[in-house]
Chains A and B, each alone.
Chain A
Amino acid sequence: MLTALVVLAGAGLLLGLVISVLSVVAGLALRANVITPTAYRAERMKAHPVRTGEFWPDLAWPFYPLRQARTDLARIEAERRARYGKLWKWPSRPIVWILLLPISAAAVICLLVAGLTTVLLGALFTLVTVICAGVSAAVFAVTALVLRGIESSWHRMMRAEASCPHCYHVTARPAYRCPGCSRLHRDLRPGRLGLFTRRCECGMLLPTMVLRAAWRLTAICQRCGKPLRVGSGTLRDVRIPIFGDTSAGKTRLLYAGLESLIDTTSRAQIPLGFPDEESEDQARIALDVIRSGRNTVKTSFALPTALTCQVGQGVGSTLVHLFDAAGEEYRGPQMQDSLGFLDHGNCLVYVLDPFSIGSVRDHMAGQNATVIRLAHAAAGDPETAYGEVVSRLRDNGVAANRQRLAIVVSKADLLAAGGLELPEASDAIADWLMHSGVHNLVLSARREFAEVRYFAVASLAATETTRTYDPGAPLRWLLVSRGVRLRAGPDTESSPRVPGGRNRPGQGSQTNGDQGTPAKAQL
């Protein structure tokens, strides 16, 4: 009797083993229930509905232990139940089995043992899967946190951001376009969709982390969907809006400042390039204008696209975005909508046309009328554009008291030609402005901004004989304040040399200018 029971148990054990193996094979391979990226996204959105202003989650395969493992176990269990359940469907009526009691009793014993075996084997497989998934998920979570920490530390340390040169939106993490299907991936941080890489729904493997994706994928603006500069989000990002009244000399200052910057970096043997063709074309036009001595054309009313240059090389380099809008934009209500770059600037340059100051104009009129004609003086009050911008910053909650402002008195060469030599030191220029009747601007700037420095500038090419009024000085001061290296040695703001190589020992600390003798620019 006991022997028969042992034989029946052995048969049940074998049957249970076969059912378990078949269930696992069917559940994992033949009839697997796969959670696709679309299904996973739908689940996530059901659990956490997307609110206004948020983007839909990215379409990529989730990490196996976080979602698919659960589905696989459920599928195997369903297969096991279905297979085992079928065994209990007797081929004949119950009365027949009652009449054939010894046989049916043996079958029941065999099936019970088989059922117990499948349960035990299923439990073992579940235990193994859960332990594997748990351990991997724990390691995964810790690694993801470490990687995210590394990335955010990099962003903090480098002041790396991704800013759109077209719509001026600034974000720490741009979106990236999948090279396979052009679908946007808006959040490439290590997470549920992958630790070091993620697989797009189309099957393309994408790197995670902005630090890795920046050089392999096309960065896209999260807001307007236009391509960003190469390296955006990884490199130090410095945005410098240049504002001022119509004809104040903003565009010319931008062009000449860029030329001076190229000159400075080439002398210090620091590479300066342009991240893409668009920037390179803009720069070429700018440099042509400055080097040929032509007048700049009137800036169009269209929204300005940043002129971007890359100072340095590799991951330690800096993307410098220079913004210049038409002076008319700084007046009236349209400024609120169109000059978004002002809100995202790291520092500001205000260009003041000295010929728009009444007392200067009067002085010049008595001396040299030709100079006034050449100056194309700005018509408006020099304090108007400044006041509008400061009001805008205040209204939009921009912390101007954490920013630096370079106040640039332009056309210094024309003033000199008219017999009015501007001082070079910042404090002396401020005093001169105070005495010239622009005291409200000077007092307001001192109050509103973290640091203000004054520059007298002649927006001429680097090849000009005199560089007393160096147009690159304001940019250099602002860039150095953002941690940009512009010299071969350590940067020091407190001991700059006076432009043109004229050192003035003992002068106040806020002398404007920097180092070295001028040399030919490379571009």
Chain B
Amino acid sequence: MKMPPTFVIFRGAAATITVLVLLLLGLGLSGRGPLDGLGGVTSHAASWLRVNTGPANR
């Protein structure tokens, strides 16, 4: 039974948009792209880790 191409298009579109959103989030967390504001969160977390896992705490 031949499935309509619209099924494939919709599924592909949903998956692609999800990947794009994830990419945008990833880029944002690394301080690039339209969501570069999220880069602050990353640097915050990195400094926290440095403080808590640094040589002074070993």
A residues contacting B by CB (< 8 A) are: 2-3, 6, 24, 28-29, 34, 36, 61, 63-65, 68-69, 72, 121, 124-125, 128-129, 132-133, 136, 199, 201, 203
A37 closest partner in B (C-beta): B1
Kindly identify which residue among B10, B22, B53 contacts A2, using a CB–CB cutoff of 8 Å.
B53
A131 closest partner in B (C-beta): B17
Kindly identify which residue among B10, B17, B49, B53 contacts A64, using a CB–CB cutoff of 8 Å.
B10
Q: How far is the CA of A133 from the CA of B11 in the complex (A)?
A: 10
A-B contact pairs, 25 of them (CB 8 A): A6-B49, A6-B53, A24-B15, A28-B11, A28-B15, A61-B3, A61-B7, A64-B10, A65-B10, A68-B7, A69-B10, A121-B22, A124-B22, A125-B18, A128-B14, A128-B18, A128-B21, A129-B14, A132-B10, A132-B14, A132-B17, A199-B2, A199-B4, A203-B1, A203-B2
Q: List chain B residues, Cβ under 8 A from A3.
A: 53
B45 closest partner in A (C-beta): A6
- B35 in the interface, Cβ–Cβ < 8 Å? no
Q: List chain A residues, Cβ under 8 A from B6.
A: 63-64
- B42 in the interface, Cβ–Cβ < 8 Å? no
In B18-51, which residues have CB < 8 Å from any A CB? Answer: 18, 21-22, 49
With A124-B22, A125-B15 known, 8 other A-B pairs at CB within 8 A are A28-B11, A64-B6, A68-B7, A121-B18, A128-B21, A132-B13, A201-B1, A203-B2
Q: List chain B residues, Cβ under 8 A from A201.
A: 1
Q: Report the interface size class on chain B.
A: 10 to 19
Q: List chain B residues, Cβ under 8 A from A65.
A: 10
B20 CB to closest chain A CB (Å) equals: 9
Q: How far is the CA of A63 from the CA of B10 in the complex (A)?
A: 10
Q: How far is the CA of A129 from the CA of B18 in the complex (A)?
A: 9
Judge whether A2 and B1 touch: CB under 8 Å: no
Q: List chain A residues, Cβ under 8 A from B57.
A: 2
Q: List chain B residues, Cβ under 8 A from A24.
A: 15
Judge whether A124 and B53 touch: CB under 8 Å: no
Q: List chain A residues, Cβ under 8 A from B14.
A: 125, 128-129, 132
Given A2-B53, A3-B53, A28-B11, residue A128 in contact with residue B17 (CB < 8 A): yes
Q: List chain B residues, Cβ under 8 A from A72.
A: 11
Q: List chain B residues, Cβ under 8 A from A203.
A: 1-2
Q: List chain A residues, Cβ under 8 A from B17.
A: 128, 132
Q: How far is the CA of A522 from the CA of B32 in the complex (A)?
A: 79
Q: How far is the CA of A136 from the CA of B10 in the complex (A)?
A: 10
Q: How far is the CA of A132 from the CA of B9 in the complex (A)?
A: 12
A65 closest partner in B (C-beta): B10
Q: List chain B residues, Cβ under 8 A from A64.
A: 4, 6-7, 10
A77 CB to closest chain B CB (Å) equals: 14
B28 CB to closest chain A CB (Å) equals: 14
Q: How far is the CA of A63 from the CA of B4 in the complex (A)?
A: 9
